Amino acid sequence: MEKSVIDILNQPFNANEIKERPGSFGKTLSYVEGHAVVRRLNKAFNNDWSFEVVSHTIIADQLVVHGRISVGSIIKEEFGGKAMAKKRDGSGYLDVASDFKAAATDALKKCATLLGVGLDLYGADESLDEPKAKPADKPEVDTSNVPATAEQKSAIEKIAKSKKLVLADFLKENSVTGMDTLTQGVAKTLIVKLNNAK
């Protein structure tokens, strides 16, 4: 591969392209959306690349997609995944097409990392499955056993109501037995999930 192409692939993303999401253990993870990766690949390869879903399977409500990027004779393959959202009544999956799209996009982004795209978002010794956590501005406090605040509980109730979700069903889908058992860490995660719910 030419050095100019490698330089484009390895170029760090602009700050406005980098998004954040909650990760494990209360960390905040940085990532880029699929369209930013597609733009980077188009720029590097002058739109002359392809992506295909080789196969897919569902394992314990997790959709797993095996994806492949091809650029001339270069082929990179990786897996992507998406936890499949279930209907409130448990009768099936909520939006299979959106789950497939998300899993395929995850596979595409992971394939692209094998070409050098977005590696600045990962720590040097970390797995490509888990983006690098942003450094904390203040010492991290373990909130795993600290009860949720009244403000957190109120926010959960208000957001669920505004999204026309049945709060008890939402809590059950997220393995929460009730508002009285919420911890600050779980409440934070639920607030993010509710804000991202459609």
The structural domains of the chain, with segments of one domain joined by +, span: 3-121, 150-196
> CATH classification of 3-121, choosing from 1.10.260.40, 3.30.470.10, 3.30.390.80, 3.30.40.10?
3.30.390.80
Residue by residue, pLDDT tens for the chain (198 residues) are: 899 999 999 999 888 888 888 877 778 888 899 999 999 999 999 999 999 999 999 888 889 999 999 999 999 999 999 988 888 888 888 888 999 999 999 999 999 999 999 988 875 444 455 555 544 444 445 555 678 888 878 878 888 888 788 888 888 887 888 888 888 778 877 877 776 676
Is beta strand 28-32 parallel, antiparallel or unpaired with respect to 74-83? unpaired
Say what the pLDDT of residue 96 is. Answer: 87
Contact 76, 114 (CB under 8 A): yes
Say what the pLDDT of residue 144 is. Answer: 58
Residue 88 in 3-state DSSP?
coil
Q: Which of 175, 174, 169, 165 is nearest to 198 (CA)?
A: 165
DSSP 8-class letter at 56: E
Contact 5, 44 (CB under 8 A): yes
Residue 51 in 3-state DSSP?
strand
Say what the pLDDT of residue 139 is. Answer: 41
Say what the pLDDT of residue 143 is. Answer: 55
Report pTM. 0.61
